[in-house]
Amino acid sequence: MIDLYTWTTPNGRKVSIALEELGLPYKAHPIDISKDEQFAPAFLKISPNNRIPAIVDNDNGMSLFESGAILIYLADKTGKLMPKDGEGRYRTIEWLMWQMGGVGPMLGQVHHFVKYNKGKSAYAEERYSKEAQRLYGVLDRRLEGREFLAGDYSIADIATWPWISRFEWQEIDLAKFPNVKRWYETMMARPGVKRGFEVALT
Ligand SMILES: N[C@@H](CCC(=O)N[C@@H](CS)C(=O)NCC(=O)O)C(=O)O
């Protein structure tokens, strides 16, 4: 059994989607970041950066924070959603890191400036919207002639999808990125993705 500490955000949903896709038993505990629960001393012990998501794997007592590290751990634990070795493993990690270093932080800034604080900084809105357009272009080109980001369906897709699911907040017209649209819809139709997206926090 895995304890997942999470909230209804793209980074949190990456892990609940992976757990659902892998069929691993878990319990999701809410950390309400709008009430600063991420700063509680008990949570700091498992997530020293004060951010969700984090997990505790009760099979071995190990705790982990940072969604990318958690996804690699879960893939290695089960031998699924990432090749064990060879080029396929590094392609998966490559696109996972692209999400962690680019898609997440940049689209997060779009949410901050364009969705929640519109009109406060024209410079930031333009800068991050332009970067969002660029990243959607990269994703669209990568998905040209490919069903998934890095070979078979993998943790790279699972990491990226929850951010793309907020395309409306980012004022992105998915019709301009047909490969992204097709990939987005393919993933949305997966029962595990649906369950992980709507995970009940009790
Ligand atoms: N790189 C981290 C980012 C985690 C992150 O930014 N989590 C947000 C929610 S999506 C959070 O906990 N925010 C709380 C805060 O800003 O204080 C990861 O991927 O796990």
Test site for ligand 1: of 5, 33, 51, most ligand atoms within 8 A of the Cβ: 51
Which ligand 1 atom sits closest to the C-alpha of 33?
A: 14
Q: pLDDT tens string for the chain (202 positions)?
A: 999 999 999 999 999 999 999 999 999 999 999 999 999 999 999 999 999 999 999 999 999 999 999 999 999 999 999 999 999 999 999 999 999 999 999 999 999 999 999 999 999 999 999 999 999 999 999 999 999 999 999 999 999 999 999 999 999 999 999 999 999 999 999 999 999 999 877 6
Q: Is 119 left (phi over 0), alpha (psi -120 to 50) or beta?
A: left
Q: Ligand 1 in contact with 13 (CB < 6 A)?
A: no
Q: Determine whether the shortest distance from the Cβ of 8 to ligand 1 is under 6 A.
A: no
Rounded Cα distance between 115 and 136, Å, is: 18
**Sheet containing 54-57: order of strands:** 26-30, 2-6, 54-57, 62-65
CA-nearest of 101, 104, 124 to 9 is: 104
Which residue has a Cα nearest atom 16 of ligand 1? 51
As given in the structure block, the two tokens for residue 3 are 């304890």
For ligand 1, is residue 51 a contact (CB within 6 Å)? Answer: yes
Spatial contact of 197 and 178, defined as CB atoms under 8 Å apart: no
Q: What is the pTM of this model?
A: 0.97
- How far, rounded to the nearest angstrom, does the alpha carbon of residue 147 sit from its chain's CA centroid? 18
155: its two tokens: 């943790």
* Atom from ligand 1 closest to the CA of residue 65: 20
Q: 181: which 2 tokens?
A: 């649209």
